[in-house]
Amino acid sequence: MNIIKNIESVDIAGERSWLALGVIVSMVVGGSLTAAYLFVPHLSELQWFGVVIIAIVLTIMWITATKDNNQECLRNQKYIEKIKQLPLDTLKKAARSEELSEESRKAIIRFLNENHQGWSLQ
C-alpha cells in the first residue's frame, strides 16, 4: 500500500501537540497562582481566588483541547482529499490492508460508505 499512507502521516502546517502543551501551561500557571495564593498575605484572604485559579486552568485546557480537535479534523479532511483521487479497487484493498493503521482504515471505510453506496470488500 505504498500509494496510501497512514492518516497520521498527513502534514499539518504549524502542527503542535496541543493537549501536551495545555497540560504543561496549566500546570505552570495553576502552580504559580496557587503558590501566590498560599504565600502572598492578602491573596489568601480572598476566598474566590481558588475558584479563579480553577477557571483559568480549565480555560487553558479547553482552548488547547479545541485546537487539538481542530487539528485532527483538518488532518482527516486532508486525508479524505488525498484518497478521493484513488480508484475504488485501490480503496477496497486499502480498507483491509494490515499495512495501514486502524484509524486510516476506518477513514477509508467511512469515505467508501459515504461515497460508494453498496460497496463491499470483495
Q: What is the DSSP letter of 31?
A: H
| DSSP state string for 73-116 | HHHHHHHHHHHTTS-HHHHHHHHT-TTS-HHHHHHHHHHHHHHS
Q: What is the pLDDT of residues 30-64, one digit of tens each?
A: 999 989 888 888 877 887 888 889 999 999 999 99
User: Is 75's pLDDT higher than 90?
Assistant: no
Q: Where in the chain are the domains? A: 7-115
| pLDDT band for position 122 (cuts 50, 70, 90) | low
Q: What is the pLDDT of residue 45?
A: 80
CA 114 to chain centre: 23
pLDDT at 2: 53
pLDDT of residue 73 exceeding 60: yes
Contact 95, 115 (CB under 8 A): no
Share of the chain above pLDDT 70, in %: 93
Q: Take residue 106 and report the three cell numbers written for it.
A: 476506518
Average pLDDT of 72-93?
88
